[in-house]
Amino acid sequence: GAVVSQHPSRVICKSGTSVKIECRSLDFQATTMFWYRQFPKQSLMLMATSNEGSKATYEQGVEKDKFLINHASLTLSTLTVTSAHPEDSSFYICSASPSSGVYNEQFFGPGTRLTVL
Amino acid sequence: QKEVEQNSGPLSVPEGAIASLNCTYSDRGSQSFFWYRQYSGKSPELIMFIYSNGDKEDGRFTAQLNKASQYVSLLIRDSQPSDSATYLCAVNMVTGGGNKLTFGTGTQLKVEL
User: From residue B14, how far is each of B17, B39, B47 by CA, in Å?
Assistant: 6, 19, 21
Q: Smallest CA–CA separation between B46 and chain A, in Å?
A: 7
Write the pLDDT tens digit of every residue in A3-23.
999 999 999 999 999 999 999
- A→B contacts (Cβ < 8 Å), by residue, are 2, 32, 34, 42-44, 46, 49, 93, 97, 103-111
B43 touches A: beta carbon within 8 Å: yes
Tell me chain A's radius of gyration from C-alpha atoms. 13
Averaged over B46-64, what is the pLDDT? 96
Query: Is residue A92 within 8 Å of A112, Cβ to Cβ?
Result: yes
For A1-117, where are the alpha helices, taking DSSP H only? none
Q: B34: nearest CA in chain A?
A: A105
3-class DSSP state of B83: helix
If one counts every other C-beta atom within 10 angstroms of the C-beta of residue B91, the result is 25
What is the spatial distance between Cα B21 and Cα B36, in angstroms, rounded to a whole number? 12
Confidence of residue B112 (pLDDT cuts 50, 70, 90): very high
pLDDT of residue B98: 65
Q: In this prediction, what percent of chain A has a pLDDT beyond 70?
A: 98
Q: Is pLDDT above 60 for B96?
A: no
* Mean residue pLDDT across chain B: 93
Query: Is residue A21 within 8 Å of A112, Cβ to Cβ?
Result: yes
List the single best residue of A43, A94, A100, A114 to mutate versus B (max B Cβ within 10 A).
A43
> Phi and psi for B95 in degrees, rounded to 5?
-70, -15
pLDDT of residue A96: 94
Averaged over B95-103, what is the pLDDT? 74
What is the spatial distance between Cα A92 and Cα A110, in angstroms, rounded to a whole number? 9
Query: Is residue B107 within 8 Å of B9, Cβ to Cβ?
Result: yes
In chain B, residues 51-110 whose CB comes closer than 8 Å to chain A: 51, 88, 90, 92, 98-101, 103-106
Count interface pairs A-B at CB distance under 8 A.
48
Q: Of A67, A72, A75, which is closest to residue A92 (Cα–Cα)?
A: A67
Q: Smallest CA–CA separation between B77 and chain A, in Å?
A: 24
